[in-house]
Structure 1
């Protein structure tokens, strides 16, 4: 099974998000965070998190890019427990048990999003606020095959 991990192509996430996610942590879309937002909430770094931030499942920080990777069942189970606990601590769910179904649904949604993509495929998210709520769109960037000759320096030791 597959899920996505944070990948950083540069240091920009450190500057654009209040709480940047850590490289390598597992992610979900995290659009649930914005379910009660209005245009007035969309300013500064919060706007950036809304517009294109994935939610890391360790730091609960945001990232611009994620890469599809293989996930074990044990890892998925641990992520569900962690996300359920986050729902208790941040969103007032009555207990981890009560929040576990929603946490499992969030992770299953992300697994479905990643299922048909090869490992190392990059994904981006973009969101907009509509009258019906938050609309998310996802874009993939396929991994590129790179031949060794693109990186090798050709020459002679005799030159």
Structure 2
């Protein structure tokens, strides 16, 4: 199974989001945050989060890019419990037990999006506020066909320098 992790290429997310996601944390769309927003809510950093921010499941921060990667099934349940707790704390869900199904559905939607792409595929999200609600679209950036030796320097414990 696949899910997506936050990835940063520079420091821009630290400046454009109120709360940036941490590099490497698991992410979902998080569009539910904007379900009752109006055009008046779309200002400043909140507008940036709405326009193209993925939701980090550990910090509830936002990130512009996510990378598709493998996830262990046991970790999915831990993430669902964390998201259900977020629903209780921030959205008034009556309990984690009452919110766990919705949390699992949100994570499953992201897993479905990721499963059709190879590892290291980058994804972006774009949102529009329409009369019918929030509309999301996704952009896919395929991984480059570069040799790993061109991207990384490998060291062994025998290297002394």
Do both proteins adopt the same fold according to a TM-score greater than 0.5, normalized to the shorter chain?
A: yes
Q: 5+ residue gaps in structure 2? A: 152-161
Provide the C-alpha distance between the structure 2 equivalents of 1:149 and 1:89, rounded to a whole number of angstroms.
Answer: 46
Partner of 1:8: 8
**Would the alpha carbon gap of residues 149 and 93 (structure 1) be closer, same or farther in structure 2, given more than 3 Å must change?**
closer
1:148 deviation in Å?
6.8
Partner of 1:28: 28
Partner of 1:87: 87
Question: How many pairs align?
Answer: 152
Provide the C-alpha distance between the structure 2 equivalents of 1:76 and 1:22, rounded to a whole number of angstroms.
Answer: 18
TM-score (norm 2): 0.92
TM-score (norm 1): 0.93
SS at structure 2 position matched to 1:10: coil
Deviations 1:11-42 (CA, angstroms, capped at 9, x unpaired): 10000000000000000000000000000000
Partner of 1:155: none
Q: Give the 5 Å matches for 1:4-153.
A: 4-147=4-147
Partner of 1:156: none
Provide the C-alpha distance between the structure 2 equivalents of 1:34 and 1:133, rounded to a whole number of angstroms.
Answer: 9
Query: After TM superposition, what 4+ stretches of structure 1 lie above 6 angstroms from structure 2?
Result: none
1:63 deviation in Å?
0.1
Provide the C-alpha distance between the structure 1 equivalents of 2:45 and 2:57, rounded to a whole number of angstroms.
Answer: 19
Provide the alpha-carbon RMSD of the alignment. 1.4
SS at structure 2 position matched to 1:139: strand
Provide the C-alpha distance between the structure 2 equivalents of 1:120 and 1:78, rounded to a whole number of angstroms.
Answer: 23
